[in-house]
A and B are shown apart, each in its own frame.
Chain A
Amino acid sequence: MTMAVGAAEAADAVKIGLLTTLSGDGAGLGVDTRDGFMLAVTEAGGMLGGVPVDVRVVDDARKPETAVQAADRLVSEDKVALMTGIVFSNLALAVVPRVTRDDVIYVSSNAGPSQLAGAGCHPNYFNAAYQNDNLHEATGAAVEQAGVKRMVLIAPNYPAGKDSLTGFKRYFKGEVVDEIYTKLGQLDYAAEIAKVRADKPDGVFIFLPGGMGINFVKQYDQAGLKGDIKLFGPAFSFDQDVLPAVGDAALGVINGAQWSLDLDNAANKAFVAGFEAAYDRLPSVYAMQGYEAAHIMGAGLKAAGGDVSKLDDLRAGMRKADFDSVRGEFRFGTNQHPVQDLYAREVVKDDKGRLVNRIVSKVFDDHVDAYAADCKMN
């Protein structure tokens, strides 16, 4: 789908490719990303950084093949100068190296695979969200802070699953009683839950994105374990995009994130209110990241005076990231990934009875990802 928005008519509008998952499994995340990004554009009257922009929204259907083809078309046919939007790391790994080679600037609004943060970093690649390990590290630190000593870890049997457990263990220093790898897309977790009960740990860490997390959390609650063995995980299974579907089963779960609805700063309050007014639902982390990716692009466009051929100015402006972040302070590290605060959040009910997250504590100040040192940029 191609959709021209805002000042599309303006001949000098900067073309931006927003390639995200709008159909198939995971479409909800892509919709949030798009809506967050578009909110920033609409709020500024079709501009970013004072420069008119023409956003081309394209569906990647969560298939690497489709994503690559769509990206090639955005670059060669639509001649976009900037790109963003990919939700899933496997798609980002397929697309980002190709487009950055062609001097298109890619600002990731979610996926932050380690390959692109370390040795594979690139001057044209910025990550507005996090490095993938960050939320797992935050959860590990949160578990450590909560004084929980014995943990069972659960993740799907695929690379991101293994990375998540590595990230968690980087900051969790207690005993790992068991590591359970499940099938990708698994429906029933009764066998794993029975194992957890038999293992009698103090807590369980899950990285089960999408439907898998919904399945697990519901089943875990129904098995009556949530009261005895506390549940932890990164924000993915406990954010606004899935909480309504999980229901009260998610109440009380501690999860690691770089942002929360209740972060107390003016930009965040405006964002949450603006998003709710525009789309009649609360923003998720994905929506926030789309919104911030837009503002980071805006910072670059402003510095380049809207002339995208001034690639150095554009990149320098983005590296400075001079904008009011909804995360409070925001800056890029040497590998152009966020150096940011990370929080432990708890799922609670707000005064309208909706399930939301509330910050329990800050677990990291200005956290730098583990791969930044491997990045030999500049």
Chain B
Amino acid sequence: MAAIDPHSTARPPAALAPTATAPTGHAARGGHASIIVVLLLALAPLVASAAGADYLVALTTRIAIWGLAAASLQMLIGAAGLPSLGHGAFVGIGAYAVGVAFHHAQGMDGALGFLAGGGADDLLVTLPVAALAAALIALPIGAISLRTSGAYFIMITLAFSQMLYFVTVAFADYGGEDGLSLWSRNTAAGLDTGDAIVFHYICLGLLALWLALAHRIAGSRYGLVLAAARDDDRRLRALGRSPYGLRLAAFMAAAAVAGVAGALNANLIGFVSPTPLAWTTSGELMVMVVLGGAATPAGAVIGAAILVVLEEMLGRWTEHWAAILGPMLVLAAIFNRGGVLGSLSRIGGRLRGGGRR
């Protein structure tokens, strides 16, 4: 039998992220898109609330939270060329950080008591803890996974998240598959997080913060080297630099942000369960990024908005929602190159009569 090496082919080196090979000025455009996205998410709940549709406020909060998780994955996929299919695991870890801290704050016992101490139920504590926990668990996973690339990386990250899923399902001290209930939302330095609008702006504020940071990173020296490694690993190595450490840092940072998203989501729904660690959540996160456009963080947020709204609408319409959503994703993959933002900028380019792209 022949051993077939997928890496020896004449495939274009940037095969992983053609949409991400941004021409000059693209980052700026991504920045505008980010600002627009944040503004829309800032206005939406006010409109919904004025219209008396309180339920829609929660929907926009969900978009902000999953947008944050997807934007963190975008840094891996788009900026660093690392297509993780296990990112949901870090969302789950962040959620568990909140759940475990709350559990101990209620005076209950568990195997992680030596770490959690008296527990915590304030976002000022739980969010950093969630970020730290996700980043620490990302360290060994990243250290092993980053020895590979491309499709290997997709499959390995998937397998590791699956492993973490089984750990949480069996971890009886913290409910295992039964999950953990948060009887009340984490406090946040005196703010009334129980108020849907207040909580929404907390989530949106963190999303805006990350989007701003992501743009800064993309334009920084670190971001440029990361992009260079994405586009041509070999050249970078020839220059005597190994991208391994840079990528590991990116992997951990993205995990930390996903952890924050998971912590917020746990607070939104008042429940922590192993579900985000199951492979479907990781698949959905990747779908969000690709659907919206992997080139910019704003694209990931748009993708998150589309998927959250679609699942909501289709789910209300029919229990066979997957039979409709599936073909929509296939069509998006075929026709919507570069995601929504990619298509928009193509159309924009054509309108300006440039034909440059």
Bound Cα distance A159, B276 (Å) = 18
Q: Looking at A1, A22, A27, which has the most chain B CB atoms within 10 Å of its CB?
A: A1
A1 in contact with B319 (CB, 8 Å) = yes
A22 in contact with B319 (CB, 8 Å) = yes
With contacts A61-B315, A93-B179, A158-B176 taken as known, whether A68 is within 8 angstroms of B169 at the C-beta atoms is no
B54 in contact with A159 (CB, 8 Å) = no
A65 in contact with B269 (CB, 8 Å) = yes
Q: Give a binary string over A85-110; 1 marks a CB under 8 Å from any B CB, 0 the rest.
A: 00001100110011000000000000
Interchain CB contact (< 8 A) of A72 among B58, B172, B178, B317: B58
Q: Give a binary string over A147-179; 1 marks a CB under 8 Å from any B CB, 0 the rest.
A: 000000000011110100000000000000000
With contacts A64-B273, A76-B54, A98-B270 taken as known, whether A90 is within 8 angstroms of B170 at the C-beta atoms is no
A159 in contact with B177 (CB, 8 Å) = yes
Bound Cα distance A76, B58 (Å) = 12
Q: Which residues of B contact A159 (CB under 8 A)?
A: 172, 175-178
Interface of A is mostly: helix
Identify which of residues 108-145 in chain A touch chain B, using a CB-to-CB cut-off of 8 Å.
113, 115
Q: Give a binary string over B272-290; 1 marks a CB under 8 Å from any A CB, 0 the rest.
A: 0101100000000000000
Q: Which residues of B contact A160 (CB under 8 A)?
A: 177-178
With contacts A1-B316, A76-B55 taken as known, whether A63 is within 8 angstroms of B275 at the C-beta atoms is yes
B21 contacts A by Cβ under 8 Å: no
A351 contacts B by Cβ under 8 Å: no
Interface of B is mostly: helix
Q: Looking at B177, B179, B183, B320, which has the most chain A CB atoms within 10 Å of its CB?
A: B177
A158 in contact with B316 (CB, 8 Å) = no
A114 to chain B minimum Cβ distance, whole angstroms, is 10
Bound Cα distance A23, B276 (Å) = 18
B: interface residue count bin:
20 to 34
B164 to chain A minimum Cβ distance, whole angstroms, is 14
B58 in contact with A94 (CB, 8 Å) = no
With contacts A72-B58, A76-B54, A160-B178 taken as known, whether A94 is within 8 angstroms of B318 at the C-beta atoms is no
Bound Cα distance A178, B176 (Å) = 23
B166 in contact with A183 (CB, 8 Å) = yes
Q: Which residues of A contact B318 (CB under 8 A)?
A: 1
Identify which of residues 16-52 in chain A touch chain B, using a CB-to-CB cut-off of 8 Å.
22-23, 27
A158 in contact with B169 (CB, 8 Å) = yes
B179 in contact with A157 (CB, 8 Å) = no
Residue of A nearest to B175 (CB): A159
B271 contacts A by Cβ under 8 Å: yes
A241 contacts B by Cβ under 8 Å: no
Bound Cα distance A76, B53 (Å) = 10
With contacts A76-B55, A158-B169, A162-B172 taken as known, whether A90 is within 8 angstroms of B273 at the C-beta atoms is yes
Bound Cα distance A160, B271 (Å) = 18
A77 to chain B minimum Cβ distance, whole angstroms, is 5
Residue of B nearest to A93 (CB): B178
B321 contacts A by Cβ under 8 Å: yes
B92 to chain A minimum Cβ distance, whole angstroms, is 11
A245 contacts B by Cβ under 8 Å: no
Bound Cα distance A160, B54 (Å) = 36
Bound Cα distance A66, B178 (Å) = 15
With contacts A72-B55, A72-B58, A76-B54 taken as known, whether A158 is within 8 angstroms of B319 at the C-beta atoms is no
Identify 9 new A-B residue pairs, CB closer than 8 A, beyond the known A68-B269, A98-B270. A63-B275, A65-B265, A73-B55, A77-B55, A90-B178, A113-B178, A158-B170, A158-B177, A159-B178
Interchain residue pairs with CB less than 8 A apart (6): A1-B318, A22-B319, A65-B265, A65-B273, A94-B269, A160-B178
Residues of A participating in the B interface, judged by any CB pair closer than 8 Å: 1-2, 22-23, 27, 59, 61, 63-66, 68-69, 72-73, 76-77, 89-90, 93-94, 97-98, 113, 115, 157-160, 162, 183-184
